[in-house]
Amino acid sequence: MHVCVKSICSVCDLGKINKIFIADLGLNNKYRDILNNINIKIQILDTNVNIGSSKEIFSKEWIDAVSQKTAILRMLIENNNTPLVMLDSDTIVVKDFYDVIDLNYDIQVCKRITPLLRKDGFLLEYIASYFSANSINSVNFVSLWINRLAERISLNMKPPHETPAMIETLQKNTELNIGFLYDNEVSCENNYIKDTTRIIHAKSRNPADKISIYRLTNIKRLPVKETLKLFDNKKEKITFILVYFLRKLFPVYDIKKIIKKIMFKE
């Protein structure tokens, strides 16, 4: 999350941003202070969910935490915070995306160039890592999205639920004017495409990737010089460079032992 917030403040025109909202799903006081000190426009929102020490993907705590995103999104829209862009905390902004927010649409969603078929047969044509609520009309869509997400959880359907619930809500939409942005532009998975990518989605591929530096070194064609600016101290920068080059030479399970003692943890 720290890297995501730093990237927003480093790349985007902050004169066009009113607030940067962060949902607190169990941040300790020290980390809250670190985030608050990045920029005066940051506002941390308390929630009724604390993911605690359980960060296992698809655990009950993880599912509850993800479910909070849409609930907070609805609350912010209802309080007239539109246009409002919701980003996953494992994204990195590499180019300002203000100009792709089109107020002619009530919402803008991220469309996959290549749809992904899940093992359960669900076709993922979109991804919820980027969602832009451009008008107050979007609150009805988000409410339906929340309801469908809750239904999927109550039926013990295969997680994750956030994107499938959004897709099912899109399929039933008859009211809103919906715009689409492609994933290679606003949610480019572990890849950077020059002159196209604005936001990289640094998705996890293995347990070690829960640590930000590991996720960053997964990214193809990562602009290393610019990425170094996202770290606050010399130790983090050295660790990033070390992991970046070792990962090119060795499998992750080999280099983890080498850098274990100096690894920067969120």
SS3 214: helix
Residue span of the structural domain in which 228 resides = 205-259
In this structure, the answer to whether residues 82 and 212 fall within a common structural domain is no
Q: Is the peptide bond before 83 cis (omega within 30 degrees of 0)?
A: yes
**Rounded distance between C-alpha atoms, residue 139 and residue 74, angstroms:** 6
**Rounded distance between C-alpha atoms, residue 16 and residue 39, angstroms:** 14
> pLDDT by residue (tens digit) across 61-82?
667 777 788 999 999 999 999 9
- The reply to whether 196 falls in a domain is no
In this structure, the answer to whether residues 109 and 219 fall within a common structural domain is no
Domains in the chain, number: 2
What's the pLDDT band for 206 if we cut at 50, 70, 90?
Answer: low
In this structure, the answer to whether residues 156 and 234 fall within a common structural domain is no
User: To 5 degrees, how large is the angle CA 64–CA 68–CA 71?
Assistant: 140
Q: What is the mean pLDDT of residues 153-158?
A: 89
> pLDDT by residue (tens digit) across 20-54?
999 988 888 898 999 999 999 999 998 877 665 55
In this structure, the answer to whether residues 176 and 127 fall within a common structural domain is yes
